[in-house]
Structure 1
């Protein structure tokens, strides 16, 4: 089963309704309700933006509900011109699509428009791939499954998630609080400019691989260090010699387990026990 749902809102709102689509739109916003082909079973959601924030929250329903809002910054404020006047036309254009096929849902927005997406998803097992590039943060709460979260200029915050996570941003913090984890899954949490702050269940069994180029590393777990020699790379190109030493912190928690990688350049790393 394949279903495509679209919101298009221009100027004072023109909504285009496709087959079996329910849309509620006003003031530069709209809603899509996307039924899954096989409700109650595991599903996959991919949502990507160029400009804007994405918030995903687990709930007890069976559909995927997408609320979209245009013309705002990451803090939810309508943008204003230099003289304090609000732009009513232009920033309010909204173009969001959702496609469902065999419990796989793809959500996207127009590349040239700022859009905030608030998505409610069923709480049963999911595979999520959520990404944005500019002017937005990614927040995921109360979701269970495999999470792949990618940002560029913004923060990543995951609250009360279960399963496994791979999270990466460039300019922003990565903050994760687990309710439970997949005990067999390796995970990675990385940023260039920002803190990496991850709270695992106290029962964590893992091998950790940690590196902060210009920050400190903190933990309240009992980490047994496993000393490894730094990786040394020597190169010779056109008579120019270079030497690179790549030094990581390695350790085991409660005897070891899957690898948990945490890395940044400018910022601290916090490996915590969830309270």
Structure 2
């Protein structure tokens, strides 16, 4: 148990030091001495300084880049290596599907007029050192990166292995392609001009869908979800969710859908023909008792209603715009 507490305190201190501050809750019986030792009781003293370097290293591994690096310092420390490949399709000219799973890095997918799938990979790694350090060693290489790509029956799968090395993808697909894209760390996703059924998921990064058509579901934890449709498939349910950020949806003027929306902030629209519905309670009997529950969803219908579109954010506004 003490080991867990030590690790958590060290990680918190590492984050605090990156901001050049150490904050201690005055209500806690915690004392930080000038030599970074922390006393939590008469029998429990932590040499916090001894653990910070290890915690910083762990955080560096989790996010695949130098902790606290920014701006020119980050560019000086990391180099970019680019690889490109072209994947032929079994049925050129017919509809296809792209599946991408990236553990660390951004993904951009755009439509083009060609018959193949073109993939550009940008790998970030620490720059090779020309001079030896204090221990007589110099950095020769930060290792390679593993990417697997395969095509079967017009379905293209691309997957990266490992979390430490960041790889950004820039992918071109034929216009009629459905997408299934998942990212994790540094995982901003941008889709441009693709027509299909899209499932887009990021854990840490915004999602931007520009000039797409068809249907989509998009979900992230950190970042805005912004989707702009040139055409929406009728009767196709869609979901757009985030925890930290706005949900911003633009659809053509004649689009019809019914919607459930949830936010702790505000909801905006420039549609005239958007009608809100009165919230209805959920009633149930429980044994000899009776229960009534109001959910904090806002329900409405655009242009008379249609397939259900769910929009949810905890820390952001919801926008429904006329395209």
- TM-score band, normalised by shorter chain: 0.7 to 0.9
Q: Residue 129 of structure 1 aligns with which residue?
A: 180
Correspondence 1:94-243 to 2 at 5 A: 94-112=145-163, 113-123=165-175, 125-212=176-263, 214-221=264-271, 222-231=273-282
Task: Provide TM-score, normalisation by structure 2.
Answer: 0.66
Once residues 262 and 216 of structure 1 are traced to their aligned partners in structure 2, the CA distance between those partners, rounded to angstroms, is 12
After superposition, what is the alpha-carbon deviation per residue over 1:187-210, rounded to whole angstroms, capped at 9, x for unaligned?
A: 110001111001111111111111
Q: Which runs of 5+ in 2 are unaligned?
A: 1-78, 130-138
Once residues 268 and 200 of structure 1 are traced to their aligned partners in structure 2, the CA distance between those partners, rounded to angstroms, is 17
**Based on CA coordinates, which of the two structures has the bigger radius of gyration?**
2
Which structure carries more helix by proportion? 2
Cα distance change on mapping 1:251 and 1:70 into 2, 3 Å? same
Q: Which runs of 5+ in 1 are unaligned?
A: 1-25, 73-77, 82-86, 236-241
For CA contacts below 8 A with separation 6 or more, give which structure has more relative contact order. 1
Once residues 283 and 233 of structure 2 are traced to their aligned partners in structure 1, the CA distance between those partners, rounded to angstroms, is 34
Cα distance change on mapping 1:156 and 1:231 into 2, 3 Å? farther
After superposition, what is the alpha-carbon deviation per residue over 1:170-193, rounded to whole angstroms, capped at 9, x for unaligned?
A: 111101111111012111100011
Paired residues, number? 232
Following TM superposition, by how much is the alpha carbon of 1:94 offset from its aligned partner in structure 2, in angstroms? 2.7
Q: Determine whether 1:246 maps to 2:295.
A: yes
Q: Determine whether 1:63 maps to 2:116.
A: yes
Cα distance change on mapping 1:60 and 1:226 into 2, 3 Å? same
After superposition, what is the alpha-carbon deviation per residue over 1:138-189, rounded to whole angstroms, capped at 9, x for unaligned?
A: 0000100001000011100010000000000011110111111101211110
Following TM superposition, by how much is the alpha carbon of 1:130 offset from its aligned partner in structure 2, in angstroms? 0.4
